[in-house]
Chains A and B, each alone.
Chain A
Amino acid sequence: MQRWQYLVRRLLWAIFTILFVLILNFFIFRILPGDPARGGIRDPRLTVEAQDAIRVRFGLDKPVINCFETLNPIKFGSCAVNPFDTQLFIYISNLAQGELGFSYHSNRPVAEVLIERLWNTLLLIGVGQVLAIVFGMILGIVAAWKSRTAIDYTALIFSLLAWSLPTFWLGIILLFWGSRELGLPVGGKSTPGLNGTSFELLVDVIKHMLLPTITYTVVVLGQYMLIMRSTLLDVLSQDYILTAKAKGLSNIQILRHHALQNAMLPMVTIIALNLGFTVAGAIQIEAVFSWPGLGGAIFESVGRRDYPVLQGAFLLLAVSVIFANLIADLTYTMLDPRVEVG
């Protein structure tokens, strides 16, 4: 198979997956018990007319999909003949225009709420991921290099422990210790109302980021270390490493020129796959440190039963992870010359 054919196939697959997520996302909020309309507007003082008005405002008066009565939990309005006048179609056409509906809580457009928070999450996850990848890989390389020595076992135990830590709990413990002993801020992204030079503001943000970033790094790092170690051990057992040794290359040269490139291949895929799991980490960390990111939005929306925001956040996260996987696939194609055969 040609390389570009492979790429096109991956791209089509990513698009298909996104479509699947769109549909899933749409139906989950409509099939499950807990009517989104009644759930969001559970105020007994509201008159029936007012409730209906709200339903109209959120587009809940339309049938879910055309003439599919069982999927229309509200039974409000008629089973329209016009297939374009349904919730599903409106949902998708709105999405295409970047509209995710309105927050039940703040009445602001969901897209607007989420975008400003997305950047904060990206900042936290970005820095944390880079640190975790760098330290995790270094630790994994050292452990594999010094396999079956005290160094290896120490690194192994540390990583297994890091892997077993509930993210939010590590956050709580660090927060408790950091805010009491080190005088670090207890949450948020910056000190409200702080005026100063841009340098002082930067230091302030870094102080706020310190603990959440450490938490994120430690929790994610363990896995990267374990995977790097085991992949590298695999690679180091391969025949071509023996060939390289017979050629007279020093161990360091073999590691740099032969082993690492081969060990990196599975790492690329695993880092991307892991993003899905690390999203979970972000939710917990943002909840603990009141970090104003997407995870925090999910946490708050759960409490407020603010479904449009939840729905939007889930969509945004899923699509980001799918894109990350696509990028990993493309990177893999560039790194591994063997891809074009299959």
Chain B
Amino acid sequence: MTRTIAVAWKAIRHSPMTLVGAFMLLLSIFVAVFAPVIAPYDPEAVVRVTINDIYVAPNADHIFGTDDAGKDVFSNFVYGARISLTVGFFASFIAVFIGGTLGILAGFMGGRVENIIMRFTDIMLVIPDLPLAVVLVALTKPSLINIILVIGLLGWTGTARLVRSQTLAVKQRKYVLRARAIGAGDLHIIRKHILPIVMPLMVANTVLVISLAILNESTLAFIGLGDPTALSWGQMLNFAFNRGAMSAGAWWAMLIPGLGIVWVVLACTLFGHGLEQILNPRIEVHHLSADKQLSDYKKSKPLVTSSVVLKSDDSPSSDILLEVRNLSINYINTEHKSQKPALAVSDVSFTLHKGETLGLVGESGCGKTTLMLSLMRLLPPAGRIIDGQIMFQGTDILSLSEQNLNGLRWKDISMIFQGAMNAMNPVKSVGDQIAEAILLHTTIRDPKELDNRIRELLDLVGIAANRKDDYPHQYSGGMRQRAMIAMALACSPQIIIADEPTTALDVMIQAQILDLLMSLKERLGLSIIFVTHDLGVIAELCDSVIVMYGGMTAEYASVDKIYNAPQHPYTRELLRAFPDISHLSQRLVAIPGYPPRLDALPAGCRFAPRCPAVIDRCHTDIPLLHQTDGDQFASCHLMETQ
């Protein structure tokens, strides 16, 4: 029990919303419990009342004045908390019990049971609550018990839906399936596996249902269906409103009880929603939040800056499309600003020539996608470019205004995202989404011309032109990726960034998409940056390769050198872990260990913990990029000693 409380406290501590709500709720419970101590007058006491005692304005004796019966409003208010909270709590327990039971039954049993329960819930959901409650209470005797029952019996629909969907989700989890496979009974699974997960959500839901129940009770009481002997806040308002407080100008008799209701309902709302957010944190990226990618630019020093001069200088500069120099990117913690940022990309440099295909290879989480997104300044809200330069044909992308940047995006550099299912707007036809890019960046305005261009593009990627008015969900996975490629080609860009364009596809389709990219590259003379973790693709498609590890360049060289004379131990290990058709007899060797977490990098070389050739220095000093050969670079201390 104490453990549960400790865990709960740890979760709640950082949520101001939950804390404020919990405090407000506890305070109202405190008032209700200690009503006899807090209230200056006993509402039950029989006192002789004269006309002069009715609706007395707030004064020293009655801080909130008196009501229509000459009673102290403050005392009534304090005792009213008892009744309002009692109704709220009991009614919501009934509602959550019914809703929870039905929800678990529906979610767990599935099939016909689920169908019947959910259909019934649907019906109850559309029948307006209050009129039904009014009718029910009006037909029975308006006693407190009846009111609790009616509110409870009508308030379970939301809980049932919530619990059902949660149960469905838990039921599919591996350990539940496993428990079932070894023969655990239904009751056991519900008790041991489903309840522990669903319970906390139900607690959060109960708090929200309490607020609804209290609102409902006060409404019923106000329209004259309350228990006239139980002076809840709603009943106080009913008496005040119907017994002349309005014409007597007795604002206190109407204001105070209402404030009590607002206080408790607000408390429950804050507390309940806060708990829900803790239990179901939502990952929010907000792509349109204020652009802060450059807010730390050149303000903080990057951890690593090498002085190596890259090969760019020995090539004719007109040939260079894109040049990235010493780029460093951090992810800050937007919730807790004081925490150390994660170093996603450190000191990466490369050049891209016209017609060149550059491969970017590395394990998941090594900063590949971050690097690519930064080229168009598309980092998520937490991303900060802290140092470096991105030069596109002589313009510094990092110093462009938002407007000029929008002119460059897609027109000069476009992107094929991984997972085209989510990268396309589900409610716009594929043709419209391609047309949008064309209209934005080219001079084509004539509808006929536009239509022809879209057909031409779809034809180019092998999609029948008559599918242009279809929506993304009507396409197969491979087709969607083709459509994405057509969209990327729409404005004839100079550079296309392909960020793992084949990850979610099956092998046959992967090969088709890669073939398509290769042929397009040759026909259109495209420059492509190809992000992948598949070395085979690199060998087939690329001219040069960057091998990234832990946000740094491990090795950067032509594709020949990478395959035939790898220098960095990581590159070698990577190649050993990759099947080679020409040496089938060789055994595949996995690299032991995992890539480092970007917020907890080792002090020295980031590969040191997994490196087979590690020396002492690797654990203390960060290796800089060294030129090992004319156009081959590697960041390894071993290169230096050679």
Contact B288 A245 (CB under 8 A): yes
B330 at the interface (CB under 8 A from A): no
Q: Do B211 and A164 touch (CB < 8 A)?
A: yes
Shortest beta-carbon distance from B443 to chain A in Å: 15
Q: Does B168 contact A (CB under 8 A)?
A: no
Residues A243 and B417 in contact, CB atoms below 8 Å apart: yes
- Sample 14 A-B pairs with CB under 8 A, ordered by A number: A17-B123, A28-B136, A147-B284, A160-B266, A160-B270, A172-B246, A176-B246, A186-B246, A246-B376, A250-B402, A262-B427, A280-B219, A283-B219, A314-B132
Closest CB in chain B relative to A103 CB, distance in Å:
15
CB within 8 Å of B: which A78-113 residues:
none
Judge if A277 is at the interface, Cβ distance under 8 Å.
yes
Q: Are A338 and B219 in contact (CB under 8 A)?
A: no
B96 within 8 A of A: no
Taking the nearest CB of chain B, how far is it from the CB of A223, in angstroms?
11
CB atoms of B139 and A28 under 8 A apart: yes
Q: Which of B140, B224, B251, B286 contacts A176 (CB 8 A)?
A: B251
B409: chain A residues within 8 A (beta carbon): 245-248
Query: Which residues of A from 111 to 145 have beta carbons under 8 Å from B?
Result: 145
A242 and B417 in contact, given A147-B286, A166-B215, A298-B131 (Cβ under 8 angstroms): yes
Asked if B283 is at the interface of the complex by the 8 Å CB criterion, the answer is: yes
Cβ 8 A contact of B423, one of A160, A240, A335? A240
Q: What string of 1s and 0s marks CB contacts (under 8 Å) between B536-569 and chain A?
A: 0000000000000000000000000000000000
**Which residues in window 337-365 of B have CB below 8 A to A?**
none
| 0 or 1 for each of B118-135: is its CB under 8 Å from A? (1 = yes) | 000011011111111011
Chain B residues in 8 Å Cβ range of A186? 246
Chain B residues positioned under 8 Å from A238 (CB to CB): 287, 422
A172-B241, A314-B135, A337-B473 given as contacts; is B127 within 8 A of A237 (CB)? no
Q: Tell me the complex Cα distance, A273–B265, Å.
A: 21
A276 adjacent to chain B (CB < 8 Å): yes
Are A246 and B288 touching (Cβ within 8 A)? Answer: no
Which stretch from A48-56, A198-206, A207-215, A316-324 is at the chain B interface? A316-324
Who on chain A is nearest to B441 by CB? Answer: A248
Interchain CB contact under 8 A, B127 and A318: yes
Which residues of B sit under 8 angstroms from A302, Cβ to Cβ? 134, 138, 223-225
Secondary structure at chain A's binding surface: helix, strand, loop or mixed? Answer: helix
Which of the candidate stretches B182-190, B253-261, B389-397, B455-463 sits at the interface with the other chain?
A: B253-261
Say yes or no: is B295 at the interface (Cβ < 8 Å to chain A).
Answer: no
Q: List 8 extra interface pairs beyond A147-B284, A284-B223, CB under 8 A.
A: A29-B135, A168-B237, A175-B246, A265-B427, A284-B219, A336-B426, A337-B473, A341-B473
Task: List residues 242-292 of chain A with CB under 8 A from any CB of chain B.
Answer: 242-251, 254-255, 257-259, 261-262, 265, 273, 275-277, 279-280, 283-284, 287-288
Q: Are B471 and A337 in contact (CB under 8 A)?
A: yes
Contact A248 B425 (CB under 8 A): no
Query: Is residue A3 contacting chain B, with contact meaning CB distance below 8 A?
Result: no
Q: How far is the CB of A298 from chain B (nearest CB, A)?
A: 6
Query: For residue A180, which residues in chain B have a CB less than 8 angstroms away from its CB?
Result: 249
Please tell me if A173 contacts chain B, counting CB pairs below 8 Å.
Answer: yes
Contact assessment for A251 and B139 in the assembled complex, using a CB-CB cutoff below 8 Å:
no
Q: Is B37 an interface residue (CB 8 A)?
A: no
Contact yes or no, A261 B378, CB < 8 A: no
B426:A245 contact, CB within 8 angstroms: no
Q: Does chain A have a CB within 8 A of B476?
A: no
Choose one: A163, A239, A273, A310; the contact of B417 (CB below 8 Å).
A239
Cβ of B502 under 8 Å from chain A: no
Residue A169 interfacial (CB < 8 Å): yes
**Residue in A176, A240, A258 with the greatest tally of chain B CB atoms within 10 Å:** A240
Whether, in the assembled complex, B331 has its beta carbon less than 8 Å from a beta carbon of chain A, the answer is: no
- In the complex formed, the residue of B with least CB distance to A257 is B436
Q: Interface of B with A (CB < 8 Å)?
A: 122-123, 125-132, 134-136, 138-141, 211, 215, 218-219, 222-225, 234, 237, 241, 246, 249, 251, 254-255, 258, 261-262, 265-266, 269-270, 282-289, 376, 378, 402-403, 405-411, 414-415, 417, 419, 422-429, 436-437, 440-441, 471, 473
Let me know if A244 and B426 touch, CB within 8 A.
no
Chain B residues lying within 8 Å of A247, measured Cβ to Cβ, are 409-410, 414, 436-437, 440
Give the distance in Å from the alpha carbon of A280 to the alpha carbon of B285 in the complex: 37
In the complex, A58 has a CB within 8 A of chain B? no
Is B424 touching A240 in the complex (CB atoms < 8 A)? yes
Q: In A161-193, which residues have CB < 8 Å from any B CB?
A: 161, 163-169, 172-173, 175-176, 180, 186
Q: A5 vs B439: C-alpha distance in the bound complex, in angstroms?
A: 37
Q: Which residue from chain A places its CB closest to the CB of B250 in the assembled complex? A: A176
Cross-chain contact A321 with B126 (CB below 8 angstroms): yes
Cβ of B140: which chain A residues have Cβ within 8 Å of it? 32-34
**A residues with CB within 8 A of B:** 17, 20-21, 24, 28-29, 32-34, 145, 147-148, 160-161, 163-169, 172-173, 175-176, 180, 186, 233-234, 236-251, 254-255, 257-259, 261-262, 265, 273, 275-277, 279-280, 283-284, 287-288, 298-299, 302-303, 305, 307, 310-311, 313-314, 317-318, 321-322, 325, 335-338, 341
For the complex formed, measure the closest distance between the CB of A74 and the CB atoms of chain B, giving whole angstroms: 15
Contact partner, B128, options A17, A145, A242, A280, Cβ 8 Å:
A280
Pairs A-B, 6 closest by C-beta atoms:
A280-B130, A248-B409, A169-B258, A239-B422, A164-B265, A164-B266
Q: B406, B408, B411, B424: which contacts A250 (Cβ < 8 A)?
A: B406
Please determine whether A166 and B417 come into contact, CB atoms closer than 8 angstroms: no
For A265, the chain B residues whose CB sits under 8 A away are 427
B284 near A169 with CB under 8 A, answer no
Contacts of B261 in A (CB 8 A): 164, 166, 169
B127 with A287: CB separation less than 8 A: no
* Shortest distance between the CB of B542 and any CB in chain A (Å): 22
CA distance A276 to B122 in the complex (A): 12
Whether A338 lies near B225 (C-beta < 8 A) is: no
The CA-CA distance from A34 to B441 in the complex, in Å, is 74
- Supposing A248-B407, A279-B128, A283-B131 touch, asked if A236 and B287 sit within 8 A by C-beta, the answer is yes
Q: Are A317 and B436 in contact (CB under 8 A)?
A: no
Query: Judging by beta carbons under 8 Å apart, are A236 and B139 in contact?
Result: no
Whether B224 lies near A288 (C-beta < 8 A) is no
The answer to whether A237 and B285 have CB atoms under 8 Å apart is: yes
| A249 / chain B contacts, CB cutoff of 8 Å | 406, 436, 440
List the B residue with the shortest CB-CB distance to A186. B246
Which of chain A's residues have a CB closer than 8 A to the CB of B441? 248
Chain A residues whose C-beta falls within 8 Å of the C-beta of B473 in the assembled complex? 337-338, 341
- Cβ–Cβ contact B410 & A248, under 8 A: yes
CB <8 Å contact, A236 and B286: yes
Most A-side CB within 10 Å, residue of B127, B225, B378, B437 = B127
CB contacts (< 8 Å) of A176 on chain B: these are 246, 251, 254
Contacts of A172 in B (CB 8 A): 237, 241, 246, 254, 258
Contact A168–B127 (Cβ < 8 Å): no
- The residue on B at minimum CB distance from A246 is B415
**Shortest Cβ distance from A58 into chain B, in angstroms?**
16
Identity of the chain B residue whose Cβ is nearest the Cβ of A295 in the assembled complex: B131
In chain B, what residue has the closest Cβ to A233?
B284
Shortest beta-carbon distance, A163 to chain B, in Å? 7
Q: Is A147 a contact partner of B128 (Cβ separation < 8 A)?
A: no
Closest to A318 in B: B127
Q: Name the residue among A164, A176, A258, A288 with the largest chain B CB count within 10 angstroms.
A: A164
Task: Report the minimum CB–CB distance from A226 to chain B (whole Å).
Answer: 9
How long is the Cα–Cα vector from A164 to B234 in the complex, in angstroms?
14
List, in ascending order, chain A residues with CB within 8 A of B270's CB: 160
| A40 vs chain B, min Cβ distance (A) | 12
Our pick among B224, B286, B408, B471 for the contact of A233 (Cβ within 8 Å) is B286
CB–CB A273/B424 < 8 A: no
**Is B222 within 8 A of A284, CB to CB?**
yes
Q: B126's contact among A173, A245, A262, A325, by CB below 8 Å, is which?
A: A325
Nearest chain A CB to B388 CB, angstrom units: 20
Nearest-neighbour CB distance to chain B for A216, whole angstroms, equals: 14
Picked from A147, A161, A314, A317, the residue with its CB within 8 Å of the CB of B289 is A147
In the bound complex, CA of A287 to CA of B241 (Å): 11
Tell me, in angstroms, the Cα distance from A248 to B409 when the chains sit together: 5
